Amino acid sequence: MNYLQQAINGLVIGHAFALVAVGWTLLLGSARLVNFGHGQMYMIGAFVAWWVMRTTGLPYLLAVPCAVLAGAALGALMQKLMLRLTLQQNLVSLMIATLGFGQLLEGAAGFAFGPRPQMIASPLQGIEFRWGEIWFTAQDVLLVAATIAVFLLLHLVLSRTVFGSSVRMVAEDPKLTQLGGLNVSRVYMGIFAFEGAAVAFAACLVAPRTPILTSMGFEQVIMTFVVVVLGGIGSVRGSYVAGLGLGLFTAFFGALVSPAYTTAAVFAVLIAVMVLRPGELSSAGGFAR
């Protein structure tokens, strides 16, 4: 086995996991929202990029901002629908509502884009770098660089800006923050829009590696679920580290043990962590760090 190649694969996959997870990390940390519509939002982001390229002839790099805008709009729509439940912190209803939102998106995407698998034709996917037995593509380089940039930017926004302070206050206690005079629904709007934009951006960078289907749903981003939880609810740095760790784990577990059981092994680790260290699930200590 080529260990260096597996390490590179793991790093690339890990950055993909982290980038797909970043919006959800913020959403879960600040609004306590387990978003089971995350996979369908990813799918919509990928299909918008594909559709823009196909219908307007725009190049890949210009289709990406269009998909990001559509993702942000989708996030804003989600906020409008779920604001009351979010403010009430009705976590049970919120969780089920996201499942419904996912169903709605999947059905609507089926009408709009059809059942056939499609490919996002990124020119970067065809540019390969080879050194001896190891290789990677320009798309991989873009994915890693963009992920690092997004995480750094988010860290700076959360720790150095007024809006970042507002997000942290809302995460700590939305009702008290509202009593203090802050417009909490506007802060939530920013968070939800970021979730939609971030997952659409991730879809544009990750999806060119595989065919996309409107039915791909939550299973497509199932590892993200693990990243968000293992990283510590709401922890930006934690989800980056968890993404990388998970990428390396899946690459080596798949190569050394069994690719078929990789998902089961990852989720077994997740269960163990959640059961043995339930304190890791508290956002109080780690949010936005």
Binding site for another protein (CB under 8 A): 32, 34, 81-82, 84-85, 90-93, 95-97, 99-108, 110-111, 217-218, 222, 225-226, 229, 260-261, 263-264, 267-268, 270-271, 274-275, 278, 281
Using CA of residue 263, residue 269, residue 271, residue 273, what is the dihedral sign? Answer: negative
Is the CB of 163 or the CB of 267 nearer to another protein?
Answer: 267
Both tokens of residue 53?
Answer: 């390229």
User: Shortest distance, CB of residue 116 to another protein, whole angstroms?
Assistant: 14
Give yes or no for a contact between 233 and 282, defined as CB atoms under 8 angstroms apart. Answer: yes
User: Shortest distance, CB of residue 81 to another protein, whole angstroms?
Assistant: 6
Is the CB of 57 or the CB of 278 nearer to another protein?
Answer: 278
Show Cβ contacts of residue 184 under 8 Å, excluding neighbours closer than 6 positions.
87, 170, 174, 177, 178
Is the CB of 163 or the CB of 252 nearer to another protein?
Answer: 252
User: Shortest distance, CB of residue 71 to another protein, whole angstroms?
Assistant: 18
Is the CB of 104 or the CB of 256 nearer to another protein?
Answer: 104
User: Shortest distance, CB of residue 179 to another protein, whole angstroms?
Assistant: 24
User: Shortest distance, CB of residue 146 to another protein, whole angstroms?
Assistant: 28
Is the CB of 92 or the CB of 162 nearer to another protein?
Answer: 92
User: Shortest distance, CB of residue 62 to another protein, whole angstroms?
Assistant: 29
Is the CB of 81 or the CB of 134 nearer to another protein?
Answer: 81
Give yes or no for a contact between 150 and 64, defined as CB atoms under 8 angstroms apart. Answer: no
CA distance 101 to 119: 25
CA distance 224 to 164: 23
